[in-house]
A and B are shown apart, each in its own frame.
Chain A
Amino acid sequence: MPKTLILSGYGLNCEKETAYSCQLASGEEAEIIHTSQLIRGKISLNDYHFLIFIGGFLDGDDLGAGRVGANRFKYGTLGSSHLQLQDQLAEFVESGKLVLGICNGFQVLVKLGLLPASQKTIGLQEISLTSNHNSQFENRWVHLSVNQASKCIFTQNITSIYLPVRHGEGRIEGDQEQILKPLLENNQIPLQYCTPEGEITEEYPDNPNGSPWGIASLCNQQGNVMGLMPHPEAFHHYTNHPHWTRLPYQKEEGDGLLLFKNAYQYLA
């Protein structure tokens, strides 16, 4: 069975519902492990198949979202071995295993250079995730349009999805011509904010942060690393939907689980 690692600690806070979503999607328990265990070499990424960088406020996002969290991976060594943690991460990605970064986790992946990784070189930060256009944290549900041509493993066979965002720094900043346009062309943008009718938008509030082209998510070229601002793990049950009391009952589980199911189907 594929093994899932959820890293916690230092201000992260979505471990409970992320582990629960993994369990619902796979039938197996995901392991929640404090990041210090990894840094101290008490566990090894080699023993896992699916690594999740969860949501929260790593180090309070005090120096910019995910910045200090990324430093911890970028400059961290594994216990006393002096092996770079980053190298182990790179190996994990190259072996085709899965990495998912949700919200704060997405911010870490971007600042670590694991996403979008256009040049395939990990460690080079190409874009940033920064203050929402209105400079304000917001919790609201958003409609997302799914790029059907994307190789992203997590979004296969999903056409559109409705999920909550809860962030203050979710706006993509980067060189439009040099960086963002090739990402669009390479289908490395699996999810985009859209209107309820499905039209991709940069307008608030359907696009909660002002991200260009409604970019809500990125994946690497292989599609095995994905980061997204919305929280699929917050929609694991139909009663999480903001107007479930208005909708006819269809099924017990929430649509957010679709991303996790895709992951486990790929790993099976």
Chain B
Amino acid sequence: MIHRIELIIKSHLSDPQGEKILQQLSAGQSFPITNIRTLSAYVFRSSKLNSSMVQELCDAVLTDPVLHENRVNQFFGDELDFDWYVEVGFLPGVTDNVGRTAQETFEAWLQSPLTQGEHVHSIRGFFFEGKLHQQDIELITNNFLMNDLIEHATILSKAEWSKHKAKLRTIPVVQLSDDIHVETFTFKSAAELMKLSQQRTLALNDAEAETILDYFAQETIQQQRLEAGIGKKPTDVELEVLAQTWSEHCKHKIFNANVNYEDTSTGQTERIESLYKTYVKGSTAKIREALGDNDWCISVFSDNAGVVRFNDDWHVVMKVETHNSPSALDPYGGALTGIVGVNRDVIGTGLGAEMVFNTNVFCFASPFYEKPLPPKLMHPQRIFEGVRLGVEHGGNKSGIPTVNGTLVFHERFLGKPLVFCGTGGIIPATINGQPSHQKKVEPGDIIVMVGGRIGKDGIHGATFSSEALHEGSPATAVQIGDPIVQRRMYDFLLQARDLGLYRCITDNGAGGLSSSVGEMAQLSGGCHLQLDKAPLKYPGLQPWEIFISEAQERMTVAIPSDKLDQFLQLSETMSVESTVMGEFNDSGILKATYQDKVVAFLDMEFLHEGVPPMELKAVWTPPAQQEPQLELPSDLTSILHTLLGRLNICSKERVVRQYDHEVQGGSVIKPLVGADNDGPSDAAVVRPVLNSLEGLAVANGICSRYSDIDTYHMMACSIDEAVRNIIAVGGSLEQIAGLDNFCWCDPIESPSNPDGAYKMAQLVRANKSLYDLTTIYGVPCISGKDSMKNDYRFGDIHIAIPPTVLFTAIGKINDIRKTITMDAKQPGDLIYLLGDTKNELGGSEYYDHLGYLGSNVPQVDTNSAKERYEKLSEAIASKWISSCHDCSDGGLAVALAETAFAGGLGMQLDISEVLAKSALRSDTFLFSESQSRFVVTIAPEHRTVFENLFATQSCYYLGEVSNTPDFVITENNTEMIHSSIITLKESWQATLR
């Protein structure tokens, strides 16, 4: 029978969750709600248990005797006063973590499994008191309580309750056909294959369709196929595997394309064979060559994450991923899987690394967006909250500190939010005598899948993310991660690694088994995968679905046959599911079978190297942006307050506090610093190996607003920002590694995308800039990612995001005790500006506030910046610097104000001299976003050594830290800005409090 257990918080106790929802609801439109009580329910089928046994179970394992009242197979709705009841449960097949945990504890208590194939389903219920209309409760349900892509809701009024309550005992079941079969296809032309491609979200292009048909038409191939017993015709399994492997997501076809670039302003043309090889890999190769014997890169661009040296015993591993498309559909699940997904990249690097920190950057439209929303888009506030919660669960529950990150706001992120998730890890330099970064698979090694089970989750995730968000975007692309299943797997794999029980490991991410097994098979030269062995969440999956499902929490390992028993035994002990799924070999063929029938038989070389390179056109015509003609504002103080409160500048404390940023005990510089633990840190510093005083600094640079002027400078500023943040806390150019994450809007010109060649040119320029900046600074990229279709299309509406690169920098710190923070420390300390300020308000927060873009985008003067960074590192290591803060969004005035209020101290500043030298108007000087600048404070006794060190640099004395709360900037004895640090801080904190 079907059992339903309900738990409710005792009526005399508070129900914080209900109160929180009530508070959220009263923040927006006011609904006449007087009370919300929450309920948790569990529904499951069992033939063995009767109601009294379930009651016993419920009392023993579910009910908190202090907090809860429970009912078994009875409804609280029969007893309580309410006007509306809403309950939300997952749609069939969606990962239900709470249900899974309940089931495990039920089965542990019963000491036997529930009926085979039965699951416990968790439900969240809400009793509303208040005279709400039907449409109000529907609005509340849809906008606050559930997401209809993954959940379903039942809404009952008090009047309907008795009649319809029986509905609340239904169980969501995945209804799939019993007919398991493999389809084969005959295509008369590439056009026919393209038609199928559209139907099945294969995202193939014309040239690829041709190449696939040519392959299957080859006589030798046909002969091989007949001998193998699969037949000449391609199967659905093969087409799906090819589509996944060749997807933009997996193959980075745009970055590997041949590009014909034309600059119409100079008339120059150029052919570039692969942006990736020319600029990204090219710059790293050049830097490594220059480093010579001191090359600290260990493994770059070849594994799931980049690997660099930390010290003699340890390497550092890092990867940053994007998870934009899924987060647009289900912000919570999308962000959560973004994190646990990038975590698996680190777990699956080399022989397997330990995770030591996360960093996240999100780009949204304003949460205060008030215009009508285009169809199918979620309100940015909802995306913001969902993503935030996803990170909270993904990071906190995994036990990885989220040490650094930021939020970036731009109205065009309405079309697609950007969700960047990064994870850093460490790995012993050698494991069981083997270099830990090398990957090997031997013929005869067993293919084992470890972790979660396979369902329809995330099918077509890789091909879906290679398309614009459109009407028919598949709901199955959405997945929910289970950080606890992953954590158990991770604990197990680290033990197995140290015992030498596997030879090779990789993660199951985009493309699922097709990509993990496909990639590992390259190392041995082939494989035989038995798809019918796969553990399934529910029956009825087709072989092709098993092969490409992106169900979460899975790793694939290659196990030497003599280690298999020990591996499986340890796995069972640690409550982790591991399944033998076949064998690696050197046949040159990727072969998959289902119940002994061959369902895929593909030449390995064709699968991995067969995708034809694209030919792309890139045409750069500098956009005709103008500088606005503005009067000097009369009240710069109020402008400073406004800038401090702008979304891109204001405090993100509410979000930061909800992330665990200290677990693992290595926290040295936190995201919030200063006298009251609330100042904005430039970079995080962590100690990944606790018994060493060496550390890592982590920072991000992202400058989307500059893209509309010139992506060359957008990229340069992003790199400079990340690097100068590392320098600001005490890192040095001696060892900083970079990670490039490109998020673009469709750069392929077509009738529906007429400015594709311009966007491609923007991409070329960003790559040229990446090459120039990284080689001058000596900051090699070690890993990267690109997400190229961040567009929203619906009918006539097209929203393209501003081309964005997140540049993440990770710097080695030789002694964490010499690092510093950005807050002013002592009254009497001297305040300096390092670096030149130019008329560079283009794309600035100041112009944006006034409604302008401008044209004078900040340009990085790399040679002077490099020298400044080297000298500043020396000064910080010599302990001459009390505080250091980089100037970024909002310019110098914002950096000064932040330094002052984070330290709880005032400042008396005089800008007359520097203003005279720079020949700038005061507002330009104060708000220009010129790069490579710092505000530093020093104790007076270091004045001489400090000024001597920077004698050849632009170094301007601005004033003194004071012990009053006054923040004063004067020019020729006139106060330009005068405010209290308390009110400045209030302006900075109020926006997103």
Contact = CB atoms under 8 A, between A and B. Distances in A.
B675 A243 contact: yes
Given A14-B399, A68-B101, A126 B66 contact: yes
Contacts of A171: 16
B142 interface: no
Given A75-B108, A126-B66, A134-B16, A234 B665 contact: yes
A239 B816 CA distance: 8
For chain A, give the interface size range: 35 or more
B674 A20 contact: no
B105 A21 contact: no
Contacts of B662: 139, 164, 166, 231, 234, 240
B693 to A, nearest CB: 9
A195 interface: no
A171 B14 CA distance: 11
A202 interface: no
Given A57-B484, A240-B667, A141 B677 contact: yes
B322 to A, nearest CB: 25
Interface stretch (B590-598, B819-827, B832-840, B967-975): B819-827
A34 B494 CA distance: 12
Interface in B779-795: none
A56 interface: yes
B396 A245 contact: no
B664 interface: yes
Given A63-B102, A245-B820, A132 B16 contact: yes
Interface stretch (A5-13, A43-51, A152-160, A182-190): A5-13
A106 to B, nearest CB: 15
Interface in A1-50: 8-14, 16-17, 20-21, 34, 36-37, 40
Contacts of A12: 399
Interface string A117-135: 0000000011110111111
A198 interface: no
A13 B354 CA distance: 12
Contacts of B60: 71, 75
B488 A11 contact: yes
B531 to A, nearest CB: 30
Contact of A136 (B14, B482, B658, B677): B658
A238 B907 CA distance: 29
A132 B13 CA distance: 13
Given A68-B105, A135-B20, A239 B668 contact: yes
Contacts of B677: 140-141, 242-243
Contact of A135 (B19, B67, B484, B661): B19
Interface in B253-271: none
Interface string B81-104: 000000000000000011011101
A182 to B, nearest CB: 16
A164 B672 CA distance: 13
B16 to A, nearest CB: 4
Interface in A220-249: 231, 233-234, 236-237, 239-240, 242-243, 245-246
A57 B97 CA distance: 13
Contacts of A242: 670, 672-673, 677
A10 B399 CA distance: 12
B64 A67 contact: yes
A134 B62 CA distance: 24
A60 B397 contact: yes
Contact of B105 (A8, A37, A55, A71): A71
Nearest to B96: A62
Interface residues of B, number: 67
B574 interface: yes
A173 B67 contact: yes
A12 B664 CA distance: 11
B206 to A, nearest CB: 47
Contacts of B825: 245-246
A136 B388 CA distance: 12
A174 interface: yes
Interface in B59-73: 60-62, 64-67
Contacts of B14: 133
Nearest to B816: A239
A173 B13 contact: yes
B942 interface: no
B66 A173 contact: yes
A236 B668 CA distance: 11
Contacts of B101: 59-60, 62-63, 68
A127 B396 CA distance: 25
A34 B491 contact: yes
Contacts of B13: 173
B660 interface: yes
A250 B575 CA distance: 46
A56 B665 contact: no
A125 B396 contact: no
A260 to B, nearest CB: 13
A59 B484 contact: yes
A127 B65 CA distance: 8
Contacts of A10: 484, 488, 575
Given A71-B105, A242-B677, A128 B657 contact: no
B810 to A, nearest CB: 19
Nearest to B102: A63
Contact of B17 (A56, A127, A131, A166): A131
Most buried by B among A20, A61, A130: A130
Interface in B636-688: 657-670, 672-675, 677, 687
B104 A68 contact: yes
Interface string B242-260: 0000000000000000000
A64 B690 CA distance: 32
A213 interface: no
Contacts of A111: 64
A72 interface: yes
B16 A131 contact: yes
A17 B575 contact: no
A168 B482 CA distance: 18
B691 interface: yes
A63 B104 CA distance: 11
A254 B481 CA distance: 36
A142 B488 CA distance: 31
A246 B66 CA distance: 44
Contacts of A243: 673-675, 677, 821, 823
Contacts of B277: none
Contacts of B657: 138-140
A137 interface: yes
Nearest to A127: B66
Contact of A13 (B398, B672, B690): B398
Given A71-B105, A71-B109, A131-B16, A11 B66 contact: no
B483 interface: yes
A56 B398 CA distance: 8
Contact of A16 (B98, B484, B659, B665): B665
A45 to B, nearest CB: 19
Contacts of B690: 16-17, 20, 236
A42 B97 CA distance: 29
Contact of B399 (A57, A61, A72): A57
Nearest to A37: B573
Contact of B65 (A57, A125, A137, A139): A125
Given A245-B819, A245-B823, 11 more contacts: A9-B488, A11-B487, A16-B690, A60-B484, A63-B105, A68-B101, A136-B658, A139-B659, A173-B67, A234-B667, A239-B668
Interface of B: 13-14, 16-17, 19-20, 60-62, 64-67, 97-98, 100-102, 104-105, 108-109, 392, 396-399, 482-484, 487-488, 491, 495, 573-575, 657-670, 672-675, 677, 687, 690-691, 816-817, 819-821, 823, 825, 903
22 contacts: A10-B484, A10-B575, A14-B399, A16-B664, A17-B690, A56-B399, A60-B484, A62-B97, A62-B101, A71-B105, A72-B108, A125-B65, A128-B67, A131-B16, A133-B14, A174-B66, A231-B662, A234-B665, A237-B687, A239-B668, A239-B816, A245-B669
